[in-house]
């Protein structure tokens, strides 16, 4: 096959990819046997918007085409083998005795993919999830968003699919690991749209993610895995620094000497138990701040100019950052185009925000987290879990300032910059449910966070006109951008307790759906090697 790259197609042009390829390679249509989109991205830098493609193509006379076209300035052409980049990954297959079944705790991306690998490896793994299966979980989450009634075990953080299920399902990642291909293929096979394989900014959307999560679970079960919902790890059986098993729901035990902990960044009670049981962990930098909201159409106008609203473009996104004079970093994170600010609490009387979009991204507002870098010097003490204490204090304040009913405290950007209460909402209507209360968010945020945001806003507005518009809405408080603690593990992914393998975001080794899933694959592969 040939890989043809750097083919640009103007937004205004009627899309005919076959024609574009034949023109680029100087082929007659019948000489092009087959083609697949390998990559698709958007170039909106100048006042003309282009889609930039690379294709894997099969042509009648490859050698002739390659000789004629390779080296032509305007296109990049290279030979690739038919199965180049196939996302096969290795895993030794073997049988396992009942009391040797590996156990995975947590059905987020890390836990789901670790369990899938162990099942593909013939290990009949047991996957424990403290929350409910995704359909029942969705009912509890909707109830919280409508009534403010929180279920501390079934919410945006806990339940089948983990934290990312009620999200925009962005699959972008900074990691460059061949396992990403495997993860994307499995997500595709489980129902994700094909474009996730080639878009440079793929997303699934919460509506499709729920289906994908369910199908992944069914695949695990079909391969001999077992999934237990509302089964919570509550304690460990440890002898001579080796794990022998675990206690579930303070009720029954499972004997196993291979346990993967894929707990996520919100399992504070479980981390407290692990710390008490001697699992070595340490403080880790993270970020906190607020969610900022704008009218999506105004962001589109700035990003796409006269092409804003073109259905081929969809809702635009942005990524901004600023380094403050005192060195502290401020950046936007988890931007949700055409989405909503959501309540992501998991503990009673504590309020946390996050963001979500459905696949179509067609809500009125755009939102993103506006975060400030926090490091252990900012934590209220040396204890490895002191970061949780900082998060809890802010979440409690947000709950109280919102009216103690899970209504969120909000503030217009102009009022924030003037350090005054918001009494009236302007053109941007807050999307957070069940409701909001105008206030002054500086009463919640540590002063160094408020100061950093105050300094960054005008700079970010300079980069994205309207970002600090007076009526833009800030909703508080965003504390769960990643985990404030890391469970130490060695080069074999083993913790300070033999047989215990920390994985994913909660253990401090991932940030985001893709990197968590890849970390789950990596740890499970290591487990398979060790038997
Ligand atoms: C609202 C929201 C939107 C997000 N949007 C995106 C996005 O668009 N793109 C992106 O890349 N990332 C996004 N993220 C981040 C992403 O979801 C996480 O990085 C990712 O889910 C981490 O995966 P994980 O498997 O490590 O942990 P988690 O997904 O947090 O899963 C941990 C699981 O462990 C379970 N668990 C915890 N304790 C126990 C116990 N004691 N016993 C049994 N089970 C337990 C929990 O119930 C949970 O299901 C979002 C997060 C949130 C909250």
Name the band, by pLDDT with cuts 50, 70 and 90, for residue 46: low
Look at residue 13 in the predicted model and tell me its pLDDT.
Answer: 87
Name the band, by pLDDT with cuts 50, 70 and 90, for residue 513: very high
* pLDDT of 47 higher than 90: no
Average pLDDT in the 413-439 region? 98
Q: How far is CA 126 from CA 49, 239, 306, in A?
A: 49, 21, 54
Q: What is the pLDDT of residues 218-265, one digit of tens each?
A: 999 999 999 999 999 999 999 999 999 999 999 999 999 999 999 999
Q: What is the pLDDT of residues 117-134, one digit of tens each?
A: 999 999 999 999 999 999
Q: What is the pLDDT of residues 55-72, one digit of tens each?
A: 999 999 999 998 887 777
Pocket perturbation via mutation, ligand 1, pick of 144, 154, 167 by most ligand atoms within 8 A of CB? 167
Q: How far is CA 87 from CA 115, 184, 220, 406, in A?
A: 18, 9, 19, 44
Average pLDDT in the 473-500 region? 97
Look at residue 16 in the predicted model and tell me its pLDDT.
Answer: 93
Look at residue 317 in the predicted model and tell me its pLDDT.
Answer: 96
Name the band, by pLDDT with cuts 50, 70 and 90, for residue 305: very high
* pLDDT of 42 higher than 90: yes
Look at residue 270 in the predicted model and tell me its pLDDT.
Answer: 98
* pLDDT of 96 higher than 70: no
**Residue 208 Cα, ligand 1 centroid: separation in angstroms?**
16
* pLDDT of 99 higher than 70: no
Mean pLDDT of the chain: 94
CATH 3.30.1490.20, applies to 2-79: no
**Residue 240 Cα, ligand 1 centroid: separation in angstroms?**
31
Q: What is the pLDDT of residues 10-34, one digit of tens each?
A: 998 888 999 999 999 989 999 999 9
Q: Which CATH class is domain 103-282+483-528?
A: alpha beta
**Measuring from atom 17 of ligand 1, which residue has the nearest CA?**
164
What end-to-end distance do the CA atoms of the chain give, in Å? 39
- Residues facing residue 356 across a β-bridge: 340
Name the band, by pLDDT with cuts 50, 70 and 90, for residue 164: confident
Q: What is the pLDDT of residues 206-219, one digit of tens each?
A: 899 999 999 999 99
Q: Which of 316, 301, 356, 359 is nearest to 334 (CA)?
A: 356
Pocket perturbation via mutation, ligand 1, pick of 105, 106, 145, 345 by most ligand atoms within 8 A of CB? 106
Look at residue 81 in the predicted model and tell me its pLDDT.
Answer: 82
**Measuring from atom 18 of ligand 1, which residue has the nearest CA?**
512
* pLDDT of 370 higher than 70: yes
Q: Please report the sign of the dihedral spanned by the C-alpha atoms of residue 512, residue 188, residue 139, residue 336.
A: positive
CA angle (509 as vertex; 134, 158 as ends), nearest 5: 20
Look at residue 399 in the predicted model and tell me its pLDDT.
Answer: 98
In this structure, the residues whose C-beta lies within 6 A of any atom of ligand 1 are 105-111, 128-131, 156, 158-159, 162-164, 166-170, 232-233, 262-264, 267, 270, 334, 342, 344, 354, 356, 504-506, 510-514, 516
Q: What are the residue ranges spanned by the domains of the chain?
A: 2-79, 103-282+483-528, 286-478
Q: How far is CA 436 from CA 439, 468, 483, in A?
A: 9, 20, 27
**Residue 164 Cα, ligand 1 centroid: separation in angstroms?**
5
**Residue 392: strand, helix, or coil:** helix
**Would you tell me how many other CB atoms lie within 10 Å of the CB of residue 286?**
25
- From the alpha carbon of 164, which atom of ligand 1 is closest? 17
* Burial classification of residue 308, based on how many CB atoms lie within 10 Å of its CB (0-12 exposed, 13-18 middle, 19 or more buried): middle
Percent of the chain with pLDDT over 70: 96
Which has more pLDDT, 93 or 289?
289
**Residue 157 Cα, ligand 1 centroid: separation in angstroms?**
6
Predicted TM-score of the model (pTM): 0.95
Q: What is the pLDDT of residues 312-362, one digit of tens each?
A: 999 999 999 999 999 999 999 999 999 999 999 999 999 999 999 998 899
Look at residue 450 in the predicted model and tell me its pLDDT.
Answer: 98
The DSSP H or E segment spanning 425 is none
Look at residue 88 in the predicted model and tell me its pLDDT.
Answer: 58
* pLDDT of 419 higher than 60: yes
**Measuring from atom 10 of ligand 1, which residue has the nearest CA?**
512
Report the distance separating Cα 110 and Cα 261, nearest Å. 9
- From the alpha carbon of 232, which atom of ligand 1 is closest? 42
- 152 φψ region: left (φ > 0), alpha (ψ -120 to 50), beta (else): alpha
* pLDDT of 115 higher than 90: yes
Which has more pLDDT, 279 or 100?
279
Pocket perturbation via mutation, ligand 1, pick of 137, 140, 144, 164 by most ligand atoms within 8 A of CB? 164
User: In this structure, what are the phi and psi dihedrals at residue 428, rounded to the nearest 5 degrees?
Assistant: -95, 110
Look at residue 98 in the predicted model and tell me its pLDDT.
Answer: 54
Look at residue 94 in the predicted model and tell me its pLDDT.
Answer: 54
Q: Which of 230, 330, 253, 316 is nearest to 288 (CA)?
A: 330
């Amino acid at each position: 096959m040939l890989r043809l790259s750097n083919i640009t197609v103007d937004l205004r042009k009627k899309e005919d990819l076959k024609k574009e390829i034949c023109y680029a390679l100087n082929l007659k249509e019948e000489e092009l046997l087959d083609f697949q989109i390998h990559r698709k991205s958007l170039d909106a830098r100048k006042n003309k918007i282009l889609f930039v493609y690379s294709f894997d193509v099969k042509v009648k006379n490859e050698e002739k085409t390659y000789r004629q076209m390779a080296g032509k300035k305007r296109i990049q052409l290279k030979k690739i083998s038919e199965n180049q980049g196939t996302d096969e990954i290795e895993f030794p297959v073997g049988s396992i005795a009942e009391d040797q079944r590996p156990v995975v705790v947590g059905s987020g991306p890390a836990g789901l993919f670790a369990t899938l690998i162990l099942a593909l490896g013939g290990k009949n793994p047991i996957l424990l999830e403290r929350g409910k299966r995704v359909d029942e979980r969705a009912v509890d989450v909707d109830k919280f968003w409508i009534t403010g009634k929180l279920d501390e075990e079934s919410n945006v953080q806990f339940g089948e699919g983990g934290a990312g299920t009620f999200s925009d399902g962005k699959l972008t990642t900074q990691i460059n690991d061949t396992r990403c291909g495997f993860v994307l293929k499995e997500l595709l096979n489980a129902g994700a749209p094909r474009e996730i394989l080639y878009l440079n900014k793929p997303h699934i959307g919460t509506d499709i993610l729920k289906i994908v999560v369910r199908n992944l679970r069914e695949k695990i079960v079909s391969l001999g895995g077992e999934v237990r919902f509302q089964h919570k790890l509550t304690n460990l059986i440890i002898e001579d620094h080796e794990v022998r098993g675990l206690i579930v729901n303070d009720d029954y035990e499972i004997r196993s000497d291979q346990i993967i902990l894929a707990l996520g960044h919100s399992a504070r009670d479980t981390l407290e138990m692990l710390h008490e049981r001697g699992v070595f962990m340490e403080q880790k930098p993270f970020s906190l701040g607020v969610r900022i909201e704008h009218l999506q159409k105004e962001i589109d106008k700035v990003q796409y100019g006269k092409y804003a609203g073109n259905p081929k473009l969809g809702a635009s996104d942005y990524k901004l950052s600023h380094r403050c004079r005192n060195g502290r970093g401020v950046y936007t994170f988890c931007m949700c185009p055409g989405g909503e600010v959501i309540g992501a609490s998991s503990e009673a009387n504590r309020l946390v925000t996050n963001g979500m979009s459905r696949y179509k991204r067609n809500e009125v507002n755009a939102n993103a987290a506006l975060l400030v870098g926090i490091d252990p010097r900012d934590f209220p003490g040396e204890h490895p879990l002191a970061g949780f204490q900082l998060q809890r204090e802010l979440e409690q304040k947000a709950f109280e300032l919102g009216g103690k009913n899970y209504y969120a405290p909000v503030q217009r950007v102009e009022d924030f910059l003037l350090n005054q209460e918001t009494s009236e909402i302007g053109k941007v209507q807050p999307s957070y449910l069940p409701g909001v209360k105008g206030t002054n968010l500086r009463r919640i945020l540590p002063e160094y966070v408020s100061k950093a945001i105050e300094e960054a806003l005008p700079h970010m507005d300079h980069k994205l006109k309207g970002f600090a518009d007076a009526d833009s809405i800030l909703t508080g408080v965003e504390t769960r951008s990643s985990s404030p603690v890391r469970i130490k593990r060695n080069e074999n992914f083993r913790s300070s307790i033999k047989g215990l393998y920390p994985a994913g975001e909660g253990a401090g080794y991932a940030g985001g759906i893709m990197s968590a899933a890849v970390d789950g694959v990596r740890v499970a592969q290591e487990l398979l090697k060790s038997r």
